[in-house]
Amino acid sequence: MKDKINALFQPMKIGTMEVKNRIAMAPMGSHSKNPDGSFNQQGVDFYVARAKGGVGLIVTTGIACQNKLDSMRATLATAGDAYIEASKKLTEEVHKYGAKIIIQIANGGGRNRKDGFFLDDDPISSSENPNVWHPEIMHRALTTEEVQFLIQSYADGAYAVKQAGFDGVEVHALHEGYLMDQFSMECTNRRTDQYGGSLENRLGYATETVKAIKEKCGKDFPVLIRYSVKSYMKGFGTDKGALLGEEFKEFGRDLEESAKIAKILQDAGYDALDADNGTYESWYFAHPPVYMPKACNLADAQYIKQFVDIPVICAGKMDDPEISAEAVASGSIDAISVGRALLADPEWVNKVQTDNLADIRPCIGCHAGCLERFFDGKYTSCAINPQVGMEREYEIKPADVKKNIMVIGGGISGMEAARVSALRGHKVDLYERTNSLGGVFIPASSMSFKEEDKRLIQWYVKQLKDTGVTVHMNTEVNENIIKASKPDSIFVATGSAARKLNVDGASSEKVITAVEALLETKPIGDKVVVIGGGLTGVEIGYSLTKDNGKQVEILEMLPEILQIQGLNSANKMMLQNLIATHNIGVHTGTKVTAITSKGVQFEENGNIVELEADTIITSIGYISDKSLYEAIKDCGADVHLIGDASKVSNLMGAIWDAYEIAMAI
């Protein structure tokens, strides 16, 4: 494998900037900023950890250039000496590890703006356009003078960035349907001034921006642009995104136009294209969920590479080293951009280079700790790596007093508690009553699109071995074992049990649980009804239709399916589109009244309806199993209830809970 990935570790040039390898860190991550927009110590620690981890080029999260017109909270418009001095702490630290660092500079979201601090009082766009999330809100068209003000703000912002020691800037962008992108697309640009009409005019905002930056900062100052090759839009609205491989009429930018745009951007002076796909209508291309294949944007990035001489960097689940290295080696792209994989494991690059792939903690594409936290107004972190954004505060350090630790339960929460405790120097014994580690995550990872979930279980098993945790399989813990072991602290990670359906006929052989369905311990017929439209139920329905050709109907008591806190819009939008594409029936606002010989009887809109079903799968939630905790909580040891046993949550809740308690012991 090591020889195959050598292409990723060759130097490259972007304009005058030499980068030590072909791996860039995507513009996501720490939003730990001072009031002036410079990164505080937490932000510095975050990026330095990735530089130390081997990344060649860091592209930081975006900052607005202007102090009005769709600007974000901190801007470069007022950046002075304090901003420059604070930023130098970051750039100087990153440079110590041989990495280059550029900052993404922005003018705003336009019609992409979301609720709360993302949707301002003066909604603007290229023309009068509907808001993505709230189509009843219309965004007004910017005036010609306002566009020129924004262009100049890019130049002024880039100059402040240069003074702060950054190696270049990335313009945000003709990407994801953001403000500048709204000018570029005919569907969102109906202007009659110099920034509307022909393709060249619609690109005037972008081309004049790079020229203004070069004039202000010098022609040798590298300027990249974030660029979505193809829009994958069928119209306006969050239900109008197209899927990979779907036949549809492109409403936004197609490949033919994209080839022309790439050449125009190169000729205007941009030094590289940082490429992916999509708009907020098809948000899952720019932020690929678990349902997207690896390298989902690669073919389109390779297509535009044919038309330019400047480097093309490809983003979008490019964390398979073999796929990425092959693409770079062939010359069909020049570099890869890796985002969430570097949150899950900041040492990703170093581990790839040393062929230490089994030690890479894999990103599972959930978006719960990164994108969803950001849109919830919190600092960006990671569901499976709580250290993200808190590298200094959450650094794992040796415990002052070494203890004997007992962990009861080998699910993810229990394994995380054991791993962290062992790394802190404690003697750890983990007890699992079955013959497999992973708990409920074993069935959860069984679907064809959950390969990274399977890898996460394998990663945990390896970490337990490498950290010296003693694992006792097929062992039911009782008071005698506890007395014999004499633990100082006990983690009870006994998980949860599935809720049972409580209606007439629920004991029918047709009725099986979600776990039984996922593990295939009971047969599943051709006609399936899934009771429960949460994430697990909907994923089961999609999996059975996609991989097994089943006819599936989903019943949900709430007005909508997928009403789950922490579920990111990109994941939800894609799953909803997949449901529609695979003709999965969805019935909301329902109440199941009985299981019959025919199938399922339920109330919908005041009417009693019956669906035929060979198999009925219940996915109606879980109840914490606290029984062992209640039995041993007064045993004399320091006893902690963690994970689903404490509170039924998602994977992020299970891992963070275990991590934080293990850090405190």
Catalytic residue numbers read: 178
Query: Buried b vs exposed e over 258-269: b needs ≥16 C-beta within 10 Å?
Result: beebbebbbebb
> How many other CB atoms are there within 10 angstroms of residue 136's CB atom?
6
Q: CB neighbours of 607 closer than 8 A, spacing ≥ 6?
A: none
| Separation of alpha carbons 112 and 176, rounded Å | 9
Tokens of 435: 């013959």
Please choose, from the candidates 155, 33, 23, 19, the residue with its C-alpha nearest in 3D space to the C-alpha of residue 90: 33
Q: Are 587 and 603 in contact (CB under 8 A)?
A: no
Q: CB atoms < 10 A from the CB of 211, how many? A: 15
Question: Phi/psi at 247 (nearest 5 deg)?
Answer: -85, 125
The 10 Å CB-count burial string (b at 16+, else e) for 157-190 is: bbbbbbbbbbbbbbbbbbbbbbbbbbbbbebbbe
Q: Are 616 and 594 in contact (CB under 8 A)?
A: no
Q: Which of 661, 22, 55, 16 is nearest to 343 (CA)?
A: 55
Q: How far is CA 78 from the centre of its chain?
A: 32
Helix, strand, or coil here: 511?
Answer: strand
Cβ(241)–Cβ(256) below 8 Å: no
The β-bridge partners of 407 are 430, 491
Residue 434's φ and ψ, nearest 5 degrees, are: -105, -170
CA 339 to CA 383: how far, in whole Å? 14
Q: In 3D, which of 276, 37, 274, 254 has the Cα closest to residue 166?
A: 37
* CB distance 315 to 341 below 8 Å: no
> Pairing between strand 527-531 and 615-618?
parallel
Task: List the structure tokens of 543.
Answer: 């999996």
The CB-side HSE value for 58 (13 A sphere, CA atoms) comes to 31
Question: Which of helix, strand or coil describes residue 112?
Answer: helix
Q: And the tokens for 195? A: 């920034």
Instruction: Classify burial at 579, counting beta carbons within 10 Å of its beta carbon; exposed 0-12, middle 13-18, buried 19 or more.
Output: buried
- Backbone angles phi and psi of 608, in degrees to 5: -90, 125
Provide the 8-state DSSP code for 662: H
Widest distance between CA atoms in the chain: 83
DSSP secondary structure, 200-218, as one string: HHHTHHHHHHHHHHHHHH-
**What is residue 559's three-state secondary structure?**
coil
> Distance of CA 628 to CAs 4, 564, 565, Å?
50, 29, 29
